Amino acid sequence: MFRWMVQRDLTLAWRRRADVMSTLFFFVIVVSLFPLSIGPETQLLRSIAPGVVWVAALLASMLSLGRLFANDYQDGTLEQMLLTPQPLYLIVLAKVLASWLVSGVPLALMSPILGLQFGLPGNSLSVLVLSLILGTPVLALIGSIGAALTLGLRGAGVLIALLVLPLYIPVLIFGAGAVDASINGVSAQANLSLLGAVLAIAFVFSPWATSAALRISLE
Amino acid sequence: MLEAINLECIRGDRRLFRNINFALRPGEFLQLTGPNGSGKTSLLRMMSGLLAPAGGDIRWNGANIRSLGEEYSATITYLGHRPAIKEELTALENLRVASALHGTEISDSDARNTLGKMGLDGRESLPVRLLSEGQKRRVALARLVVCNTSLWLLDEVLSALDKTAVSLVVSLIENHLGNGGMAVVATHQDIHLSASSFQRLELAS
């Protein structure tokens, strides 16, 4: 069942490629605007790089949240998901996994190229990718709670941002902190471990919270 | 057996109905009628477990359906207004995903046979977006054939269907009742069933 759900969401994403690409392009363009506007000051660019890339990743992941449940809600598929004999927890987890594969992973894979624009050294680029690989699933997991709570509301997009962005702060601090540490020649391990811990907590609790929110939204 | 005891429904600040009582035994059929906005859909959603009743109890074999949870979900098929069909997927993919979600994985050829029975021969591999409203409805109804559940909850399933499709649905329901299944259907149209037990519940506005 889990495999079917993931496969279904990936197929749907493939047939609506434009949506997925827009998230990625948003990320690329926002990050690229900074070096263009600041100019070739390597030292300054290096010091702002972690923050800029991470804030852009946060905003890009907000873009994909609106789609997570809204389409399934509109055509009634979500009702059917609530009425299956499968635990809703697993269904939510499958949907979040699929959404991360099409929106989070491409961001992480694209980030070294963007990091080069800021003159990041090689080992910082690998820390950047690693921090995004650990951090973007947390963004998707926490975001799913907001998406479920605002289902079917008007102006849901703004409301999701207000609900979810404050919860993203720890991820932002640890993620940007890890890259920052590696630029300054300190070990990034502490920040990455904390990011991993946040991922473990989000993995356990957020699908459960999302399931509860979905049941309320669909009553 | 499905029992409803003193059901009450409040949506917003309006009471849609109260004191609804009925019992449905294997092989029995219940038709819900009533004007628009009288609570037919709300009653069906309560029976499916999606909506909590404002008062009263719904019991399946004596146990409250909300305490049964997923065990109860495994015994029902609910088809709502919204067809739960993905426009980007083909009819075949829609049916196979829906049945996998319901815990019965079916093979490609089973799915093709079922869609053929529903009169969708040759259209199995088209994106559902390209099908007509009635054909989309048929794809949704194909779920009834593959999911082996004992209670069917059908909300306005006959709308947008032509005569052949209506008689197809009626024969599906008759077959289901004959095998000891139960069906609750909300509809304005008359359904002519040869079932022995035909109950009708009229909701007032």
Give tens-digit pLDDT for A73-97.
988 889 888 888 888 899 999 999 9
pLDDT exceeds 90 at position B145: no
pLDDT band at A111 (very low <50, low <70, confident <90, very high): very high
Domain boundaries, chain B: 2-75+149-202, 89-142
Residue percentage of chain B with pLDDT more than 70: 99
- Give dist(CA A187, CA A193) in Å, integer: 11
Provide CB contacts within 8 A for B122, sequence distance 6+.
none
Task: Identify the pLDDT of residue A146.
Answer: 92
- Identify the band that residue B144 occupies on the pLDDT scale cut at 50, 70 and 90: confident
Question: Which residues, in sequence order, are CB contacts of B142 under 8 Å at separation 6+?
Answer: B91, B95, B114, B115, B117, B118, B120
Regarding the domain delimited by B2-75+149-202, which CATH topology (the fold level of the hierarchy) does it fall under?
Answer: Rossmann fold (3.40.50)
A189 touches chain B (CB under 8 A): no
| Cβ–Cβ gap A4/B100 under 8 Å | yes
d(CA B25, CA B44): 17
Read off the pLDDT of residues B147-194 as tens digits, 9 standing for 90 and up. 888 899 998 888 778 888 888 888 888 888 888 889 999 887 777 777
pLDDT above 70 (res B196): no
Question: Is B53 in CB contact (< 8 Å) with chain A?
Answer: no
Q: Among candidates A60, A207, A203, A52, which has minimal Cα distance to A138?
A: A203
ipTM: 0.85
- Domain residue limits, chain A: 2-217
If you measure CA to CA, which chain B residue comes closest to A77?
A: B84
Measured CA to CA, the distance from residue B54 to residue A92 in angstroms comes to 28
**Chain A, window 71-130: residues with a beta carbon less than 8 angstroms from a chain B beta carbon:** 74-77, 79-87, 91
DSSP state of A41: -
Residue B52 sits at the chain A interface (C-beta within 8 Å):
yes
Strand arrangement of the beta sheet that strand B55-60 belongs to: B14-24, B2-11, B55-60, B63-64
Contact A84, B102 (CB under 8 A): yes
Mean pLDDT of A48-66: 91
Distance between CA B178 and CA B181 in Å, rounded? 7
On chain A, the residues whose CB falls within 8 A of the CB of B86 are 8, 12, 75, 77
How many Å is the maximal CA-CA distance in chain B?
A: 50
Report chain B's mean pLDDT, rounded to a whole number.
85
